């Protein structure tokens, strides 16, 4: 079932379900090359960027934002108002108004802490290498 005022981009696919329904809520926006799996549910006002793949029975909440080239595993829920960063891989639920990114998925604050730590480690290694020369 596709709601009112829905935009679906070119080369997108919405799989029909064998039992039950695949639903796309009112005013949802799907960019190009989006795949919506069987029995998936996309909430009202959700925005799904290009190249996203939702596996079967996935639920995307109202006004959620899914960044481009993201994969969401079977039976995973993305809460209302949640944000998922581009090129992420989701295998666990995202709470309402949560923000996750990466592969494996991490809360956005944790992701940036790990990224900063790795940058420091690389800088330390580089400075040690230069002192040996």
Distance CA 127, CA 97 (A): 41
Catalytic residue among 38, 108, 111, 115: 38
Measured at the CA of 119, the angle between CA 116 and CA 120, to 5 degrees, comes to 90
Give per-residue pLDDT as tens, 89-119: 999 999 999 999 988 888 877 766 776 777 8
What domain count does the chain have? 1
Could you tell me the residue range of the domain that residue 46 belongs to? Answer: 7-107
Q: What is the pTM of this model?
A: 0.83
In a domain, 80, yes or no: yes
Give yes or no: 108 in active site.
Answer: no
**pLDDT at site 128:** 75
Q: What CATH number corresponds to the domain at position 69?
A: 2.160.10.10
């Amino acid at each position: 079932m596709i709601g009112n005022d829905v935009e679906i981009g070119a080369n997108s696919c919405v799989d029909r379900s064998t039992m039950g329904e695949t639903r796309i809520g009112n005013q949802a926006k799907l960019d190009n090359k989006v795949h919506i799996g069987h029995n998936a549910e996309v909430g009202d006002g959700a925005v799904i960027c290009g190249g996203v793949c939702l596996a079967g029975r996935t639920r995307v909440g109202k006004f959620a934002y899914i960044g481009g080239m993201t994969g969401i595993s079977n039976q995973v829920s993305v809460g209302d108002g949640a944000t998922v960063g581009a090129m992420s891989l989701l295998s666990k639920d995202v709470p309402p108004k949560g923000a996750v990114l990466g592969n494996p998925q991490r809360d956005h604050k944790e992701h940036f802490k790990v990224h900063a730590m790795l940058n420091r480690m690389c800088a330390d290694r580089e400075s040690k290498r230069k002192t040996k020369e």
